[in-house]
Chains A and B, each alone.
Chain A
């Protein structure tokens, strides 16, 4: 019997395929030229820039049935992920030498995880969402455990793996319920069937929805699914922490947004309040617990929980304004968080990681440049004008207010004010305390580039927000 088979159009999936090829080539390059570690990072930087250009030129398309969707929404998030990869690669060269991470597979694992993210961002089918998520998560589990002689890294890797497996189980259970109730895993198909069969308020369907939502909230690190974040951010190599706080988070939000608006567009009034509660919990937990942290990486971990809460403010509205606010916020967050981590990495030297808050005492005297940059990034994370963080938060709050979530917005502003305490405390340490010891920082070209890009991004978007906001507004899923 002849089986009719036509190859699906491969054009839309070309960036992902190129990235897979590059990841495999990197393993081979590492094998053939073991002494030239710089070659690997240079190749990654070139590939990433090439792919970003390629993505800008991509035209919307759907391929593999409806499993793989390339729309401006997907392209926007893919560029955030690639940007995260680019910045992490720039930061990695110096850090890998200091921590003596010799594995060349470091870069290819990062590339593979970005392939996973890009796939899940484009996924129009829950099976592809799940597989992309696993592809992303598995690579990151390995990357977190790269510092094999550090017990914190081992603990982090194991914890992440166990909790990740648990959250995947929740997600899969939810997907199986949705599939059983609707007979399809296609996102648009689910929405259509729910309308036709009128099962939108069926408790079994809602349970499936809640389980899937929990799985995604785990991936973006929103409370009450945040417990993994501090230990893992603390234990992982700092470059990987910065990568994790930007790229997988953006991918998680992209999938969550697509899932909500494509599969359950009709029940916004039901999931809106649930997400509002999750957002408020995240802001409360993140901002309040961050106050008691003594380690910069842990503090930034809690701050990333809080920022996940802010970003959810846009999604819960279900409106195009809200979505574009979340999208631009994630982009801005990528700039400012990468910048803050770049300074943390800059201060890290052989034998002394300088991750404690007290290590920042008197930094303004010994390293005025690093202190000034950290000041800008912390101001932006707090949301003080004229930095980009202010613009991002402003539009998020405005969108949530317009959708009628007044109390959510009021509480969000209060939590945001609380966050100023621990961000500004670090600034006080840097500018108003005496340094216990002096040290010289080493600026490698990669770190200079990363710092410059983030600083220009944070200030540039803060002063000229129009370009980014317009781009985000144009990149929405067609409602």
Chain B
């Protein structure tokens, strides 16, 4: 008997670009697969492919040999994320086998579904928009029951900074939505926007738990600067009102990730910088506590 369980799913999203969605998602995946004992599957759903490029490009801009070979195999076998969507939206039943031609192995416990430039025109090419909303549920089901890939404990999604069909299909199925904010007006402005959008667009499906945390907080004497704290207070106030007025299950995680230079090269250097391990461990503890509530 197959004793596989579906992975816990976490989607990182904010409509404001540059808040650190990609880096945070990658670091969390690296943390729990390297320092923990979890098998992690990471999805890049952003057509901008920032995560895919950061993982798969050498410093000089050329593709890693290992990835290059894998990509050739994946494209030849029609096993890209775009092929999966294409297959799913056809009128017949969803016939898409899951194996390591669809999933790229970054490390033993850290696996990856890269993005594709074709996702840019996905919105134009998909005719059955309603059906698209169920894509990720079906795909995760196939991943869970496939005997050819690992038993993933967590699936992490790096979502685009907009409400696309693909992000909808993730947000409608995930266990937790993770919203990174920065200590600036425009990043915080994204919070009420996304909370309202979730309320309006996801219902009547159940809205997942939503966790918000401060990313790139400015540090001062081991704490946030007062300016960062001001914006964090604003976020907390927004989330409190969202809980009271809309019944959203929102939690503000008091585990900031501080703004330091090393984080910029976290992905390309292949490992979460030592200085950040403690902060990300605290963030992860907050996430799992909330997930298990």
Query: Are these two chains actual partners, yes or no?
Result: no
